[in-house]
């Protein structure tokens, strides 16, 4: 069977890597890269380090407003689907590439599989929440990472095609953490295990809003410990736009985005992680590193319920307090599956395409 995987942003390359490997044992896969992320450090380094096959197509949509970016993807994807005629399209996560991939396919009556279905933050001001809801409602196969995700779908009346598979990012982490042991990233930054904090920021609500971004940078400048800050290009752009460069002081070490293996090693050895990323909240939990989430809500609610993650928004005082005091005490549950989600997903696809 012919499967088209549509990916375009950093976390989607990580999610697709193992699935692509599994898929190619039994199916023909074509990879369509939308071009949403195009810098080498957000795209090429992941294809290289995770041995993801070179995309068959790159639409080169580039950065733009949501409407222009999603519209360009829709036009390009439709053209390719008409040409390639896949039996199933696979989309991942919650980006504009996810929404465009699902919408182009469903309009052409091509079945859609959604990896990481059923996640909800219940915050409709997040572009990702809209992408998730719409994609789930267009999908034929919904691969839910957690029981919470299955329950969320049920509340919206979606039960057909829903499969609890576990989380593919958990698979990826288990697979790659051993390889990450070879990393020399701590030596490169001259840091010792558990003697530094790691921070990432890229959420629209934190970057585009000058006050929120300013609060986060001020909090960093007041923290005593060394902070490693691999900076997303969106955040870099908005630091310039809002004129906030002068706020970066103290022990923060700014660096360009880091490759996945080095980044995993930085996460594992961090004392605490501060982030507004979805994937990093999960990875922090799995690696048993306390996580301080720079958001008011999260779709990874289990990490909060278990006491390993705390929501602080962009509140400077809360950020500093939690850097100093947050200490998870409770035992973790096993919420992200058994590390075999990718294989389960491909088995379900195989049975589906045989129907």
Least CB distance to ligand UDP at residue 258 (A) = 4
The values of phi and psi at residue 271, to 5°, are -75, -45
> Please, which residue, 158 or 228, has the CB nearer to ligand UDP?
228
171 contacts which partner out of ligand UD1, ligand UDP, none, CB within 5 to 8 A by kind?
Answer: none
CB 141 within 8 A of CB 113: yes
Q: Which residues of 154-183 are buried (b: 16+ CB within 10 A; e: fewer)?
A: eeeebeebbbbbbbbbbbbbeebbeebeeb
Least CB distance to ligand UD1 at residue 276 (A) = 9
The H or E element that residue 112 is part of is strand 111-115
Q: How far apart are CA 158 and CA 162, in angstroms?
A: 8
231 binds ligand UD1 (CB under 6 A): no
> Please, which residue, 257 or 313, has the CB nearer to ligand UD1?
257
Q: How far apart are CA 58 and CA 33, in angstroms?
A: 5
Of 80, 280, 312, 346, the residue at the interface with ligand UDP (CB under 6 A) is: 280
Q: How far apart are CA 315 and CA 311, in angstroms?
A: 10
Least CB distance to ligand UD1 at residue 70 (A) = 8
55 contacts which partner out of ligand UD1, ligand UDP, none, CB within 5 to 8 A by kind?
Answer: none
202 assigned to active site: yes
Least CB distance to ligand UD1 at residue 26 (A) = 30
Q: How far apart are CA 177 and CA 261, in angstroms?
A: 7
Q: How far apart are CA 354 and CA 165, in angstroms?
A: 19
36 contacts which partner out of ligand UDP, ligand UD1, none, CB within 5 to 8 A by kind?
Answer: ligand UD1
Residues that bind ligand UDP (CB under 6 A): 10-11, 14, 200, 202, 230, 257-258, 260, 263-264, 277-280, 283
Which residues bind to ligand UD1, rule: CB under 6 A?
9-11, 36-39, 42, 63, 94-96, 127-128, 202, 233-234, 237
Instruction: Give me the active site residues, please.
Output: 202
């Amino acid at each position: 069977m012919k499967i088209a995987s549509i990916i375009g942003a950093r976390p989607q390359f990580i999610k697709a890597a193992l699935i692509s490997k599994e898929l190619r044992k039994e199916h023909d896969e074509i990879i369509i890269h939308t071009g949403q992320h195009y810098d080498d450090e957000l795209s090429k380094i992941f294809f290289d380090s995770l041995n993801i096959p070179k995309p068959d197509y790159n639409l080169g949509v580039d950065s733009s407003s949501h409407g222009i970016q999603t519209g360009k993807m829709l036009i390009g994807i439709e053209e390719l689907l008409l040409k390639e005629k896949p039996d199933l399209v696979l989309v991942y996560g919650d980006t504009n590439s996810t929404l465009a991939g699902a919408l182009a396919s469903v309009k052409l009556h091509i079945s859609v599989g959604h990896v990481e279905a059923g996640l909800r933050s219940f915050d409709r001001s997040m572009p990702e929440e809209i992408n998730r809801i719409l994609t789930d409602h267009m999908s034929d196969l919904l691969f839910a990472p957690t029981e919470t995700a299955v329950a969320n779908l049920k509340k919206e009346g979606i039960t057909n095609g829903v499969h609890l598979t576990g989380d593919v990012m958990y698979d990826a982490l288990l697979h790659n953490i051993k390889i990450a042991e070879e990393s020399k990233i701590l030596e490169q930054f001259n840091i010792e295990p558990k003697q530094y904090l790691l921070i990432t920021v890229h959420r629209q609500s934190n970057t585009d809003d000058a006050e929120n971004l300013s609060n986060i940078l001020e909090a960093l400048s007041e923290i005593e410990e060394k902070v490693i800050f691999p900076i997303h290009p969106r955040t870099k752009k908005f630091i310039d736009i809002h004129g906030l460069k002068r706020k970066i002081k103290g022990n923060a070490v700014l660096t360009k985005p880091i490759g996945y293996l080095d980044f995993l090693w930085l996460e594992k050895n961090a004392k605490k992680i501060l982030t507004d990323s979805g994937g990093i909240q999960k990875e922090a939990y799995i690696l048993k590193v306390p996580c301080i989430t720079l958001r008011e809500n999260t779709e990874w609610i289990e990490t909060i319920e278990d006491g390993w993650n705390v929501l602080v928004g962009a509140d400077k005082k809360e950020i500093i307090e939690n850097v100093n005091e947050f200490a998870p005490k409770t035992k973790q549950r096993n919420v992200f599956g058994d590390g075999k989600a990718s294989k389960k997903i491909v088995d379900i696809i195989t049975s589906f395409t045989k129907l």
